[in-house]
Amino acid sequence: MIELDAVSVAVPASASTPAASPGAEPASARRRWGRADHGPPGEITILHPTTLSLTERSVAVIGANGSGKSTLARLLNGLVLPTRGYVRVHGLDTHDDGRAVRRMVGFVFSDAEAQLVMPTPREDVALSVRRTGVERSLRAERVEEVLGSVGLAHLADVSVHALSGGQKQLLALAGVLATEPRVLVCDEPTTLLDLRWRTHVTALLGRLEQQVVHVTHDLDAALLADRVLVVDHGRVVADGTPETSVAAYRDLMATRVGTTDEP
């Protein structure tokens, strides 16, 4: 269960470049401004007050570029801290219990390469397994099991550089699954993949037992979720069944064709 209680995220106006590192400014802003109801002048709100309770096994988040989807996703494991309000995952606050939340919430990024640090898939997953405290004698078996669960057992000992983009994304997912998260947040994990791999990774996410929050531009993938949120200009503007939310998003985008406005 994920709860957002009147959560907003603001950054100093001077930090309002898309290239700025998400997370750093909201965190420091939080330390400086605390949980006051009113922030200082000169701030830009990138997520307006949002209250949500996410209990469904799969939740998709869709929206235009720059609408605030990644900000919302990063709030869920404490990569971004709320400027105001609270985020709780299974009762733990991302601000006060950050380490425990990060252990519980796995995060998969679009760029798998950024998550892969070891020379081979086996070593990469082993690194994650070591972090979970699995007994030494059981680790090799666990690594095999995790690689098998994403269909990469046959590539366990090849160079990571030899993997295709889709295989790298599976390996990044395996590395996160090896840490046994209760919740998985995936921020556009299929954006860099072709249709075949996109379908494969999406199907795999659909089979996981964990709660999955999937940020995506792939409306076919969103239609497979239990619940879909549409984010626009830093607000959740639609929240419902996949069919109603995707239709609302299509209507919204139809009004924007030919424009390039950003929040």
Residues that bind ligand ATP (CB under 6 A): 11, 15-16, 18, 20-22, 25, 46, 63, 65-71, 262-263
| Distance (Å) of CA 105 to CA 2, 54, 88, 216 | 10, 14, 11, 18
- Nearest distance in Å: CB 240, ligand ATP: 19
Instruction: Report the residue closest to ligand ATP, judged by CB.
Output: 70
- Nearest distance in Å: CB 18, ligand ATP: 4
Q: Which is nearer to ligand ATP, 94 or 120 (CB)?
A: 94
Q: What strands lie across the sheet with 227-232, from one edge to the other?
A: 105-108, 183-187, 211-215, 58-63, 227-232, 235-240
Q: Which is nearer to ligand ATP, 29 or 129 (CB)?
A: 29
Q: Which is nearer to ligand ATP, 180 or 188 (CB)?
A: 188
Q: Which is nearer to ligand ATP, 75 or 176 (CB)?
A: 75
Q: Which is nearer to ligand ATP, 25 or 124 (CB)?
A: 25
Q: What value, to the nearest 5°, has the Cα angle with vertex 201 and ends 228 and 193?
A: 100
- Nearest distance in Å: CB 64, ligand ATP: 7
- Nearest distance in Å: CB 65, ligand ATP: 3
Euclidean distance between CA atoms 262 and 16, whole angstroms? 12
